Amino acid sequence: MNRLIYHLFIALLVLATANDGASQEQAFVNFESPQSHALMISSEGNRLFVVNTPANSLVVLSIDEQTSPKVSIEIPVGLEPVSVAERSENEVWVVNHLSDSVSVVDLRRGVVIETIQVGDRPGDVVFADNARLAFVSSMTEQSVTVIDAAVREVVKRISIPAHSPRTLLANSDGTTVWVASYLSGNGTTIIPHTLAPAPTTPTNPELPAPPPQGIIVSANDPRWKSQVGFELKDEDVFEIDVETLSIRRSYSGVGTALFSLAQHPKSRDVWVANTDARNLVRFEPELKGHVVDNRISRLDVVGESDSPVSIIDLNPHIDYAQLPSTVGLETAIAQPTDFVFDLSGDRAFVASFGTDRIGVLDEAGNVLSRIELDDGPAGNTDPQTKRGPRSLAMQKNGAILYVLNRLTNSVSVVDVESEKVVDELMLSDPTPDFIRAGRGYLFDAKLSGSGTVSCASCHVDGDRDGLAWDLGDPGGTMFSNGTAITLHPMKGPLVTQTLRGLAGEKLFHWRADRPGLEAFNGTFEHLMGGERLTDGDLAIFVDYLQSIQFGPNPNRNRDDLLSDQPTGTSARDGEQIFLSRLDIGREGRNTFRCVDCHMRPNGAGTTGFTGLIGQPTKVAQLRGLHERIPLAGNGNRVVGFGFGADGSRASLREFLADSHRFQGITEQDKAALESFLLSFPTETPSIVGLTRTVHVANHNADSIQSDVALLIEQAELGNCLLSVAGILQGERIELVYDRTSGLFRDRISSQEDIGLERILSRIDTNESFVSFVANPLKSVSNRVR
């Protein structure tokens, strides 16, 4: 039986037994995907390419009138596009972060003509060797995929021994590509409480002695060498030789969170926009208002300097001891996410994502002036209208700077000579109003006392920073989280937790010391050095926080659970142990199954037991564990914090070896549990994002037929909403699958519904290109309040 017919038969069986036949509409789901090079000017200089992340599209703007861009066409691509690069006058490539793909866009036709699958969570794309080769980064697979751009086939995958390699840069002659690690760490690690010295004495004499706790140290500090027990490679930027497709060299000490790369046109130094975490500073009062440094790091890639990395502080004028700082609020460059040089290299322009301004720098990196993106006083802020400048592009004549604002999904046009915004174009945006209103509170550094730090300084793009922080307070007081447990204000180092998947949770932080998200309001005052939010602002912020979701877990294959491992060690075996094995965990004399504590769909659960840190701890969610692996593919330790509340365990197997918590687990059982936990499902089904572009050259291929049938089957099961977009025999189409009828509905016009066979039968010329996309279904309107 033809494979397509077989899968259609299965889909019809599902349809016949479906619980409800109602047609489903695509819902907006907030993934907060991190944009990289999301804006670029065409080589001819008359078009501006913009990724529209919330609308899953590429917008082509005409800039014949440079100060008044106009939409020429908006082209559907994959899910969560984050980067765009021009290959030729007629072809651009778009990186789709959630679809794990690259959309190849034909500009003349205005359609995606091919979809290339790449590594999980791709972050950026550049071309090299006269656009013969494309390089695409994969954050979770720690690799760069090299693609022959002409035939669109993968040539090689280059392993990058760093956490979340993302931003890419090619030099002008196409012989070198650099890749920067997004969350690269800073060479710090944890000495667990079992090996650390006794904690310091509280400054509040009424406090009892603090509980035993770990300490954060530099992994290369010789004083801690024996306790650390491993070598930590803090490599941040890697240089790839395009001819050999191998790593030529790496650079360390560049920064903690690296956002963008650009090469200076005169010195040829590579500049890196980054923040550097100050997590070696102990205790919240000491960090108040000064959590990270916002910087430019210059890499001497030519080899003319004795120091290959030099640092430029973008805010050397701020006195962090005086908060609030009016000077800081009016001038700070916070979370620099992108920058461009003018042709001469005399000036650089840096996007201050946290403070809605553009910094103008001289060739030495000194800030000359600042361009405000709104009309209000420089020190004032309204988080609900925050723009969030993320990507920059400059006209070759240096007269006009274009700014893509991530939060408002708009393009600001800046006259460089006057340093004024002369126009702003709002892009199409399906983002719900409550997300628009609330997300600014996460990213706004003007809510701090110094103007340099926001919640997103640690929760980068709504996620983690990969570090631990000691935010205790020796001068604090004992407090309760609403239960009978009394907690000490000196808690020791704890790793930053993600803000994804918070909906439905009641207690937060590793020690469950925040009863409700509202309890975090003190962070604005005590850590950021600003003022607490009003009740109304806080409610808006909390509503937004509950909207951020995980993307699919890439470790879950199409059979839902990994099963290609040795007998007894697969994720399927681990799931059975997790659900049914008695006496695997213990607290005192009591024994439990894993699921007795990790009882919720996200793996979270009860509180009050003694955790790895030796203090009362909450059962944390299990989603996203696959993103916390501190090892590279070669086995080297690349970040200093792994699993457990303090990040002291290098692997889940090591975590499961804790005799205080677990008992009777064989090495085989540990392997099985690790496989299951690393494939733990998120709230987003694994099918979501899958994209297949069908054209005359591939529409009869078994792989295409099988995947299209799979997409229909998953749509029938309610795991996704299936859409189809493109050109069919020269006619532009946008269709959505209706599982009531088993037909595709036209979103553009009122034409009659059509079936799959009719769509495929019309793909018979070079003027037919259609892309099938699995979209998310779960609506944010169903969030738990």
pLDDT tens-digit profile of 201-219? 999 999 999 999 999 999 9
Phi, psi angle pair for 613, to nearest 5°: -85, 0
Q: Using a pLDDT cut of 90, give the percent of the chain over it.
A: 82
Residue-level pLDDT at 273: 98
H-helix segments, 421-479: 433-438, 440-443
DSSP symbols for 298-336: EE--SS-SS-SEEEEES-TT--TTSSS-HHHHHH---SE
- In the numeric block, which tokens belong to residue 84? 């765009």
DSSP state of 637: B
Give Cα 146 distance to the centre of its chain.
22
Structure tokens belonging to residue 485: 């447990």
How is the beta sheet containing 153-159 ordered, strand by strand?
Answer: 122-128, 133-138, 143-148, 153-159
Model confidence at 784: pLDDT above 90:
no
Supply the pLDDT for residue 592: 86
Is pLDDT at 104 greater than 60 in this prediction?
Answer: yes
Using alpha carbons only, give the angle 626, 627, 628 rounded to the nearest 5 degrees: 95
Instruction: Measure the CA–CA gap between 288 and 471, rounded to whole angstroms.
Output: 10
What is the model's pLDDT at position 10? 35
pLDDT of residue 591: 83
The answer to whether 442 and 459 are in contact (CB under 8 A) is yes
CB of 607 closer than 8 Å to CB of 617: yes
Structure tokens belonging to residue 450: 């110094």
Q: Where are the alpha helices (DSSP H) in 684-744?
A: 702-716
Residue 484 is predicted with a pLDDT of 72
Residue pair 536/664 in contact by the 8 Å Cβ criterion: no
> Three-class SS of residue 652?
helix
pTM > 0.75: yes
User: Span 107-114, mean pLDDT?
Assistant: 98
Q: Check pLDDT > 60 for residue 15.
A: no
**Taking a C-beta distance cutoff of 8 angstroms, is the pair 31, 80 a contact?**
yes
At 263 the pLDDT is: 97
The band of 12, judged by pLDDT with boundaries at 50, 70 and 90, is very low
Residues 153-192, buried b or exposed e (16+ Cβ, 10 A)? eeeebbebbbbbbbbbbbbeebebbbbbbbbbbbbbbbbb
Q: What pLDDT shows up at residue 751?
A: 79
* Calculated CA dihedral for residues 154, 160, 163, 167, nearest 10 degrees: -60
More confident site: 335 or 560: 335
Q: Does a cis peptide bond (omega within 30 degrees of 0) precede residue 161? A: no
Phi then psi for 740, rounded to 5 degrees? -65, -45
> Residue length, the chain?
785
Q: What is the pLDDT of residues 471-483, one digit of tens each?
A: 999 999 999 877 7
Task: Give the chain's radius of gyration (CA, Å).
Answer: 26
Query: Does the pLDDT value for residue 7 go beyond 60?
Result: no
Longest Cα–Cα distance of the chain, Å, equals 82
Contact present, 449 and 325 (Cβ < 8 Å) = yes
- Continuous H helices in 645-725: 652-656, 667-678, 702-716
pLDDT at 120: 95
| Residue 561 confidence (pLDDT) | 39
- Mean pLDDT calculated for residue range 78-90: 98
Query: What letter would DSSP give residue 216?
Result: E
Alpha helices by DSSP H, 69-137? none
Assign 5 a pLDDT band (cuts: 50, 70, 90): very low
- At 408-450, the pLDDT tens digits run 999 999 999 999 999 999 999 999 999 999 999 999 999 999 9
Report residue 557 as tokens: 């294959």
What pLDDT band is residue 9 in, cutting at 50, 70 and 90?
A: very low
pLDDT at residue 246 greater than cutoff 80? yes
Q: How confident is the model at residue 14 (pLDDT cuts 50, 70, 90)?
A: very low
Q: What is the rounded (10 degree) CA torsion for 245, 249, 255, 258? A: -10
51-70 pLDDT per residue, tens = 999 999 999 999 999 999 99
Residue 30 has pLDDT above 80, yes or no: yes
For the ranges 8-17, 137-146, 233-242, 331-340, the lowest mean pLDDT is seen at: 8-17
Which pLDDT score is estimated for 616?
Answer: 85
Q: Is pLDDT at 601 greater than 50 in this prediction?
A: yes
How far apart (Å, rounded) are the C-alpha atoms in residues 646 and 654? 14
pLDDT number for residue 375 = 87
With bands split at pLDDT 50, 70 and 90, how would you rate the model's confidence at 568?
confident
Q: What is the Cα–Cα distance from 462 to 32, expressed in whole angstroms?
A: 7
CA distance 702 to 694: 12
Of 7-11, 258-262, 444-448, 678-682, the least confident: 7-11
User: Buried b / exposed e across 39-71, counting CB within 10 Å, b at 16+?
Assistant: bbbbeeeebbbbbbbbbbbbbbbebeebeebee
Element (H, E) at 16: helix 3-17
Residue 174 per-residue DSSP state: S
What pLDDT score does 682 carry? 95
Each residue of 206-240: b (16+ CB within 10 Å) or e?
ebeebbbbbbbbbbeeeebeebbeeebbbbbbbbb
pLDDT at 608: 66
Question: What's the rounded Cα separation, in Å, for the pair 406 and 402?
Answer: 13
| Cα–Cα dist 104/110, whole Å | 11
Rounded to an integer, the average pLDDT of 3-8 is 39
CA pair distance 30, 210, nearest whole angstrom: 40
Strand, coil or helix: what is 644? Answer: coil
Given a contact cutoff of 8 angstroms between Cβ atoms, the answer to whether 682 and 549 are in contact is yes
Res 558: pLDDT = 41
Quote the mean pLDDT of the chain: 92
Tokens (6 digits) for 436: 């628009």
User: Alpha-carbon distance 463 to 123, whole Å?
Assistant: 15
Over residues 696-739, the pLDDT tens digits come to: 999 999 999 999 999 999 999 999 999 999 999 999 999 999 99
pLDDT at 4 over 60: no
The residues near 704 (Cβ < 8 Å, ≥ 6 apart) are 692, 694, 698
Contact 712, 704 (CB under 8 A): no
Name beta bridge partners: 770.
694, 726
Which residues is 101 bridged to in the sheet? 96, 117
Q: What is the mean pLDDT of the segment spanning 755-775?
A: 94
Confidence of residue 25 (pLDDT cuts 50, 70, 90): low
Give the integer Cα–Cα distance in Å for 388 and 351. Answer: 9
């490599």: which residue's tokens? 235
